[in-house]
Amino acid sequence: MSGVVAASTTLPSGAGGAPGRGPRPRRMTPARWGIYAFLLITALFFLLPLYVMIATSLKTMDEVRMGNIIALPVNLTLEPWIKAWSSACTGLNCNGIRVGFFNSVKILLPSVFVSIIIGSLTGYALSFWRVRGATLLFAAMMSVAFIPYQIFIYPLVRVFAFLGLGQSLLTIVIVHTIFGLPTMTLLFRNYFASLPAELFKAARVDGAGFYQIYWRIMMPMATPMIVVAIILQVTGIWNDFILGLVFAGRENLPMTVQLNNIVNTTQGERAYNVDMAATMLTALLPLVVYFGSGRWFVRGIAAGAVKG
Amino acid sequence: MSLKSEVDIRGVSIRFGSVKVLEQLDLKIAPSEFLVLLGPSGCGKSTLLNAIAGLIDVSDGEIHIGGRNVTWDEPKDRGIAMVFQSYALYPRMSVRKNLSFGLEVAGTPRAEIDQRVGEAAAMLRLTELLDRKPAALSGGQRQRVAIGRALVRKAGVYLFDEPLSNLDAQLRAELRVEIKRLHARLGATMIYVTHDQIEALTLADRIAVMQGGVIQQLDTPRKIYREPVNRFVASFVGSPAMNFLPGRLESGEEPVFVTGEHRLEISDYAFLGAPKTCSATLGIRPEHVRAGATAGPGAITATVEMVEPMGADTLVWCRLANGTPVSLRHEADARLAPGDTLPVSFPADAISLFDDATGNRL
Amino acid sequence: MSLARFRLSSRAAAASSLLPAFLVMLVVYIGSTGWTVWMSLTSSRMLPNNTFVGLRQYEILFSNDRWLTSVHNLVLFGLLFVAASLVLGFLLAVAIDQKVRAEDTLRSVFLYPYSMSFVVTGLVWQWLLNPTHGIQKLVRDWGFPEFAFDWIVRQDTVIYCLVLGGVWHAAGLVMAIMLAGLRGIDEDIWKAARVDGLPVWRVYLSIVIPMLGASFATAGVLLSTSVVRLYDLSVSMTNGGPGIASEVPAKFVMDHLFERQNIGLATAAATSMLVTVVSVVAPYLFWRVRKAGVR
């Protein structure tokens, strides 16, 4: 929008000369002060938890007990981080949250890969090929994306038990693919549908078949969407709690589940600094993805948020 | 503020960072005048209009409206009203509400609002549309609502920013007439920006032809058409475009224009200054070229290349012996075919001579 | 537009590539939903059985204290969370839209919580709201010994703590959606409003907000669906406590499926959640389809 609140030239304000000549003096009106104040205060509210997380994780327990929550650490120590990583207790075992970290990685990589492949393939098929009932399938997929997981959990548990897969890495990867399908399909279908149809027709005239076009033409062109899809899936799967809890199996519990165990199931006095260190460790990957992805993250929201 | 304000632009410069859009521009617009700012995109005409409106700041200079220095005033305090290219109607409000909203917010009494809305609606034939929303209107209707919104403000100056550019040719012609009628009826001062020279020629009392942030010529449409002050103005205004013949001007007892082997008599031409010998270009509009029987003595031969029948008359594209293309207007039922030869002449009272070095009129 | 030679093999390939999606729809979405609903009409407890008992499980459900509290909590949470997130997100978007400096930085700050897991959100807010070590202690140390901020351990206020964590998480998302909507408004409308002499707040109220209907709807639906799914946040922040003061329906279902082993009751609860979601989402989807069709 044009500069409604304040004048909008790039010349220094109040540029000399008589009043009534040249650019209007740009005053910081009370309204503008108010806006900056509002933004600043809200920014502090948003940053507070991050700061507290980091600060607490670098303090000794004495400091935590004596001091207050926003004080800077006096005796900076990485002890809590080391403890959280390698010796915190997640229920029966006390091998630290690194177990959860590696489990999450084990779950993440195949899940992201498979869900993007299948999602993009499905999106591609729905956007170009007039298979009967395709639109219906797409509409159906978009509608069911709203249903809470609780409806599906028990039947799926039974189905996987029946298939002999039970709770395992394979199971959780399949589950993430299943529940990622609507969003991934939406993403790729909308993207492919926005590409000129001539591209596709030219390839067919050249003699390319379904999978050839997909692999050699469409996917290379879909790089922006692949980036967006990776961001969405990495964030979503890494942050997942309920599906990992139910389907991954005790040896493969993801970091989020382990984290909850560490913090909420401790006997005796809680080691708040270790807790916060463990929380930071879990939050690290999504934060890196977020701050590293710049505008892509917002693109991901825009693409995935517009359901249908 | 009176209903017919004069506008005085004094030494206005507008810079965006290091880009100079306007530099020390002076322009005086008389009350009730219809002034058109004409030029190609990027010439600064919209910038100037927005500055007059107060939507952007000037980097230097002053703007006076109705005798008052408004350089530091907000748009609402300048006594102006504006019509935008994209209509800018408030989408969720009815036509009536679009017209009245500004007045309501300003605290105008209900009775007066109703009266002004009624007047504007009647003038623009919007009365049946008052309860519709913009989405249910055609482009031409929307633009009339936009004009109506400007009218209810009873401003001293009306500003139009390429209002007809989004309309198709027929609607453009219709609304052009409406705007002209409106001006005749209201007698208000109007400043109108466009890149369409037909709009400029039909609507304006005076035209300011702009290029590169500078006013090339400020004159009545007739003078701009007949006596363009430089090559740019000559080529920008007029359709089909003016013919340009390259050559040389030889001054002397009787000045002569030489092009190729042809020596053209130009003693009836009104020179601006003293004629001098230099490289020059002769410009003449297609409708002023005399051809065939009317060419008279001293005609030169042209070969017909192409004939374009245009309904009311015919446009004939020819070439002179030295290869210079010339287009001319001929009667509709002239029997001419490619390859025919045609005598043509260029009456000196209808030509324009331009100095090749400066592009200015000689 | 297809060449006869390739028609059969390519169409077969296309159809087969849609098989996973089809399977998923059938088995998972339709099949599971159907089975869950069926289970809710049976007397299943630890193991599923097929003894039809009509709506008996629902009768038990809606006289179950824990369930009723969950629903009550969720409604309260839902209303506060959606309202607060929409308002805060909208105000942030408007503020940022005023051509403020450091816009990119500010947007990063407001949006980063959305990249956090709900577990992380719950745990860090649990720490902040800890009466002994958190904000309450902080303000008391600053010289206000009577200051009380122990909401998280009190039954009547714990739900507000969840709202706090939720809004912190989601307001950035609303802001991003609103900002996109604001940026889509024709610049000329702002100019016209300025020429009309409308004060800025009036433009937002009477012109901009009505134009942002679609953005509000999108944000509202996204927020609402995450309300019904609320589980991680409750488990990590308070584990439903103190007592059952922050129990939520999703947690009720999970607890009864796995710990308490009452499949019938759990599926009845799940089906109730489903009905709620459908009754909100179906009109929305219907409205969107109609809008797309009209255009």
pLDDT tens track for B44-86? 999 999 999 999 999 999 999 988 999 999 999 999 999 999 9
Confidence at A304, pLDDT banded by 50, 70, 90: low
> Is residue B100 domain-resident?
yes
CA distance C271 to chain A (A): 7
Choosing from B219, B235, B251, the residue where a domain stops is B235
Per the CB < 8 A criterion, the answer to whether C31 and C22 are in contact is no
Average pLDDT over residues A194-216: 83
> Is residue B360 domain-resident?
no
Here the CATH number for the domain that contains residue B320 is 2.40.50.140
Question: What backbone phi and psi angles, to 5 degrees, belong to A24?
Answer: -70, 140
Question: pLDDT, tens digit, for every residue of B134-177?
Answer: 999 998 899 999 999 999 998 999 999 999 998 888 889 999 99
Residue of A nearest to C112 (CA): A290
Do both B209 and B256 map to the same domain?
A: no
B101-105, C56-60, C173-177: least confidently modelled range? C56-60
Handedness of CA A219, A220, A224, A230 (dihedral sign): positive
CB neighbour list of residue A104: distance below 8 Å, 6 or more residues apart: A238, A244, A254, A255, A256, A285
Choosing from B235, B259, B283, the residue where a domain stops is B235
Q: Please report the domains of chain A, with CATH numbers, ordered by start residue.
A: 30-77 (no CATH), 98-260+275-305 (1.10.3720.10)
DSSP state for residue A72 in the 8-state scheme: P
A97-111, A119-133, A283-297: least confidently modelled range? A119-133
Confidence at C225, pLDDT banded by 50, 70, 90: confident
> Is residue B331 domain-resident?
yes
Q: For position C244, what pLDDT does the model report?
A: 85
Do both B202 and B341 map to the same domain?
A: no
Here the CATH number for the domain that contains residue C175 is 1.10.3720.10
> Is residue B346 domain-resident?
yes
Do both B221 and B292 map to the same domain?
A: no
> Is residue B188 domain-resident?
yes
Do both B150 and B37 map to the same domain?
A: yes
> Is residue C6 domain-resident?
no
Do both B229 and B281 map to the same domain?
A: no
Mutation target vs A (from C71, C88, C112, C117; most A CBs, 10 A cutoff):
C117
Do both B127 and B20 map to the same domain?
A: yes
Query: Residue C152 above 60 pLDDT?
Result: yes
**Residues above pLDDT 70, as percent of chain C:** 96
Structure tokens at A254: 């993801």
Question: pLDDT, tens digit, for every residue of C117-134?
Answer: 999 999 999 999 988 888
- Residue B82 and residue C191: Cβ atoms within 8 Å? yes
Do both B142 and B90 map to the same domain?
A: yes
Do both B110 and B184 map to the same domain?
A: yes
Do both B133 and B247 map to the same domain?
A: no
Question: pLDDT, tens digit, for every residue of A95-115?
Answer: 888 889 999 999 999 999 999
A130-134, A218-222, B322-326, C226-230: least confidently modelled range? A130-134
Do both B227 and B309 map to the same domain?
A: no
Given the structure tokens 């004069």, which residue do they identify? B6
> Is residue C35 domain-resident?
no
Question: pLDDT, tens digit, for every residue of A9-51?
Answer: 433 334 445 677 888 877 778 888 899 999 999 999 999 999 9
With b for 16 or more beta-carbon neighbours within 10 A and e for fewer, the B34-60 pattern comes to bbbbbbeeebbbbbbbbbbbbbbbbbb
Confidence at C55, pLDDT banded by 50, 70, 90: confident
Query: Residue B2 above 80 pLDDT?
Result: no
Distance CA C135, CA C24 (A): 47
User: CA dist A162 to A42, A155, A245, B25, C43, Å?
Assistant: 51, 10, 19, 84, 22
> Is residue C150 domain-resident?
yes
Do both B203 and B282 map to the same domain?
A: no
Average pLDDT over residues A218-242: 89
In total, chain A counts a number of residues equal to 308
> Is residue C11 domain-resident?
no
> Is residue B362 domain-resident?
no
Mutation target vs C (from A33, A36, A39; most C CBs, 10 A cutoff):
A39
Domains identified in chain B, total number: 2
Confidence at A131, pLDDT banded by 50, 70, 90: low
| C26: number of Cβ within 10 Å | 11
Query: Residue C6 above 80 pLDDT?
Result: no
Residue B92 sits in which domain range?
Answer: 7-235
Chain A within 8 Å of C207 (Cβ-Cβ)?
A: no
> Is residue C214 domain-resident?
yes
CA distance B219 to chain C (A): 29
> Is residue B120 domain-resident?
yes
Q: For position A268, what pLDDT does the model report?
A: 73
Confidence at B12, pLDDT banded by 50, 70, 90: very high
Q: Is the peptide bond before B240 cis (omega within 30 degrees of 0)?
A: yes
Select from B17, B56, B59 the Cβ nearest to the Cβ of A22.
Answer: B59
Distance CA A165, CA A172 (A): 10
Alpha helical stretches, state H, B54-153: 95-105, 110-123, 139-151
Query: Residue A4 above 70 pLDDT?
Result: no
Chain A within 8 Å of C7 (Cβ-Cβ)?
A: no
Q: List, in sequence order, every residue forming a beta bridge with B215; answer none if it has no partner.
A: B210
Confidence at A305, pLDDT banded by 50, 70, 90: low
Choosing from B206, B235, B264, the residue where a domain stops is B235
Query: Residue A130 above 80 pLDDT?
Result: no
Residue of B nearest to C187 (CA): B88
Do both B201 and B302 map to the same domain?
A: no
Domains identified in chain C, total number: 1
Residue C283 sits in which domain range?
Answer: 65-294
Select from A7, A17, A19 the Cβ nearest to the Cβ of B57.
Answer: A7
> Is residue B308 domain-resident?
yes
